[in-house]
Structure 1
Amino acid sequence: MAEKDIAEKQLLSYADVFANIMNVILFQGDEVVHPEELTDVLPQSTYKVDGKLRQQERDVAKLWKNSELRLALFGIENQSAVDRTMPLRIIGYDGAAYRNELNDKNEKMYPVVTVVLYFGCEQRWKKPRCLKDCFQIPERLNPYVSDYHINVIEVAWLPDEMIAKFSNPFRMVAEYFSQMRKDQEYHPSEEAVRHAKEMLDLMALLTDDVRFTEAKENVKEGESMTMRSILLDKIEARGEARGEARGEARGEARGEARGEARGTEKTWVASARNIMKNMQLTAQQAVEAISVPMDLRAKVLEQL
């Protein structure tokens, strides 16, 4: 669990990545926050339950001090599943940060800004985005209940023009989730990746795409690599090792599918699904690998 937590936070903890994310989300891409103005803040805080002290921990937190001496604490929370209690969690983190300010008499007071990065691409964030939505509040009591809004960023639903404002590697992370939501396929960039190992660690944890897990084992420190070379070229390299198996799969598929008047659409679908499962290929790669007839290809793809 500790290793997972570290991998999940490492990429976003880089000052250049953190500053870029904040600039795009909070300042429409203007370079307001500079990496050299950020300092790490201990993400842990404590609270008491039944007389016992317990710990809570943000994913990433940094203190920002710009040239005008304004201070702000920025927090980032990674979230791959919708969480209806998120407003309660965020108010706990932010409240602990403000409590620390009260305890430190020598420090200037500063605001706290927390951003929740939601990486789900199958469903939108339809759970509470503010404290009041977590409860059923009687109408007459509602005016007296203080509210607290949270900033949820649905990464997979960001507009393309906003994603383009991110610098790599977070732009590539956002592109992956956006493309998977819209097309169920990922088309890797040919741009060299910065912080490649950390990005692959994060993607391996956030997705079910086994290519990221396999690829991160082959990334060497300091080596210049593109997302295409990391993922697609790796598949092509494996192709030679799998050539025999793929050839047999293709021959079997052709034999079955062409046995009776070139076979049936159902047979091609079954064969494509089998090769997708065994070789971790996309639907498009599978139909090409087993040479599905062009007149049937669109119908087969619809069912994969």
Structure 2
Amino acid sequence: MIQKENSFGTFDQEINAFFKDAHHFACLINTCLYQGQEIVKPENLMLVDPKIQAYTRDVLMLWNGRYGSYYLGIENQLIENYPMPYHILQYDCLVYKDQMDILEKEHRKKKDLRSSEEFLSGIKASDRLIPCITIVIYYGTRPWQYHFEMKDLFDVKDMSSLIDFKMNLIEVHSDTHRYKDKELDLVFSMTKDILNANFNTIRNKYKQGIPKQVALVIASMAKDEELYQQIKEEEKEVIVMCESLDRMREKAISEGIILGRRDGLIQGKTEGIQIGRIQGESEGLQKGRIQGKEEGVLTVLKSLLKKGISDSYILEITGVSSELLMKAKQGLN
């Protein structure tokens, strides 16, 4: 099983590899920045070294197309990062600094600066930089709550004179875009359903087989270690996701029952917590709730959390409130 401390890094690698495909990347940019018009062509994209100065971008492409040359970047966020507008501004500025350093170095080598203004500037007035546009893709289960632009990080009354910077943000859990690239559309729509625990929708909608690599990307976006590992261990190269989800849910229910009984006996605080319906429509921990045995409920929730099962699965399997799940999480710290 993937170690918890390493899982986000593994998820990042899977997602980055998916977006390094020029067709996926171009479709994302066209849909989110150009209202679905096919402005960015895959053949006009070139993957470039994502390391700029001391920082490494998730994915960085150079686009030579209709409007000139642009750097286009993607940053993946599995959890909300409060200073994200600052980080994106920093990343983009480093792209510009890197270009400025190259221009200045070339002029020093050529010794072609003539006027006092050129010597002061280190470049010529005719020199141009390649602009950089970055999209942040957020895979959290909750809405992004804080800091969408730089001014959100300030605490002043008058912001009218400030030059603001707003990041381009896609929240997958509430994304309403439809993508022309079939794999990209499938990845975003299924991830959205998993993040929102729409398991009945998944069963009814996604009965077709999908490539294993695409399934791994979906599990990575959903931050689901159990599902990721299950797909990784599959020998087949075509995965039926509704079957994989059902098997994972059944395993979680089974383990929850076993762990609940064991821990309940040890603590003597629960009398047969029932993790309900095998069809996945679980009323979960019903007896525990009715009898007010919150300690026993928390015990099972903690056991499931320790197994690396995601919040959305636990909420679906057990039927508990998000507040009680948060209390169980706090009890682990």
**TM-score greater than 0.5 by the shorter chain:** yes
- Secondary structure of the corresponding residue to residue 70 of structure 2: strand
Summarize the alignment of residues 121-270 of structure 1 with structure 2, pairs less than 5 Å apart. Answer: 121-122=141-142, 124-137=143-156, 139=158, 142-159=159-176, 162=177, 164-165=178-179, 167-185=181-199, 187=202, 189-194=206-211, 196-197=212-213, 199-201=215-217, 203-204=219-220, 206-208=222-224, 210-220=226-236, 223-228=237-242, 230-232=244-246, 266=287
Residues 234, 136 of structure 1: alpha-carbon distance in 2 compared, 3 angstrom cutoff:
closer
Q: Is the 8 A contact 2:11 2:223 kept in 1?
A: no
- Secondary structure of the corresponding residue to residue 7 of structure 1: helix
- Secondary structure of the corresponding residue to residue 210 of structure 2: coil
Partner of 1:59: 58
Letter of the aligned partner of 1:146 in structure 2?
I
TM-superposed deviation, 1:227: 2.7
Separation in structure 2 between the aligned mates of residue 69 and residue 28 of structure 1, nearest angstrom:
16
TM-superposed deviation, 1:125: 1.2
Partner of 2:85: 87
Q: Is the 8 A contact 2:191 2:222 kept in 1?
A: no
TM-superposed deviation, 1:108: 6.0
1:16 lines up with 2:23 in the alignment: yes
Separation in structure 2 between the aligned mates of residue 3 and residue 216 of structure 1, nearest angstrom:
12
Partner of 2:14: 7
- Report percent identity of matched pairs: 22
Letter of the aligned partner of 2:146 in structure 1?
K
Separation in structure 1 between the aligned mates of residue 194 and residue 10 of structure 2, nearest angstrom:
27
1:100 lines up with 2:119 in the alignment: no
Q: Is the 8 A contact 1:21 1:166 kept in 2?
A: no
**CA-to-partner distance for each residue in 1:224-268, whole Å, 9 max, x for gaps?**
4443355447879x8xxx9xx99xx9xxx8x9x9xxxxxx96279
Q: Out of 129, 133, 137, which is 1:109 matched to?
A: 129
Q: Out of 73, 76, 85, which is 1:75 matched to?
A: 73
Residues 227, 16 of structure 1: alpha-carbon distance in 2 compared, 3 angstrom cutoff:
farther
- Secondary structure of the corresponding residue to residue 193 of structure 1: strand
Partner of 1:295: none
Separation in structure 1 between the aligned mates of residue 286 and residue 49 of structure 2, nearest angstrom:
58
Aligned length: 256
Letter of the aligned partner of 2:74 in structure 1?
I
Residues 94, 284 of structure 1: alpha-carbon distance in 2 compared, 3 angstrom cutoff:
closer
Separation in structure 2 between the aligned mates of residue 126 and residue 268 of structure 1, nearest angstrom:
31
Partner of 1:39: 46
Bigger shift: residues 78-87 or 202-211: 202-211
TM-score of the two chains, using structure 1 as the length reference: 0.66
**CA-to-partner distance for each residue in 1:179-209, whole Å, 9 max, x for gaps?**
2454453615234434x32651562464236
Partner of 2:139: 119
List gaps (5 residues or longer) in structure 2: 1-5, 107-126, 262-271, 277-284, 323-333
Q: Is the 8 A contact 1:204 1:210 kept in 2?
A: no
Residues 57, 192 of structure 1: alpha-carbon distance in 2 compared, 3 angstrom cutoff:
same
Residues 219, 94 of structure 1: alpha-carbon distance in 2 compared, 3 angstrom cutoff:
farther
Residues 219, 15 of structure 1: alpha-carbon distance in 2 compared, 3 angstrom cutoff:
farther
Q: Which has the higher contact order (CA 8 A, sep 6+)?
A: 2
Q: Is the 8 A contact 1:63 1:71 kept in 2?
A: yes
**CA-to-partner distance for each residue in 1:62-105, whole Å, 9 max, x for gaps?**
11122x36211111111122222011100111111122333444
- Secondary structure of the corresponding residue to residue 43 of structure 2: helix
* Runs ≥4 residues deviating over 6 A: 233-236, 267-270, 280-286
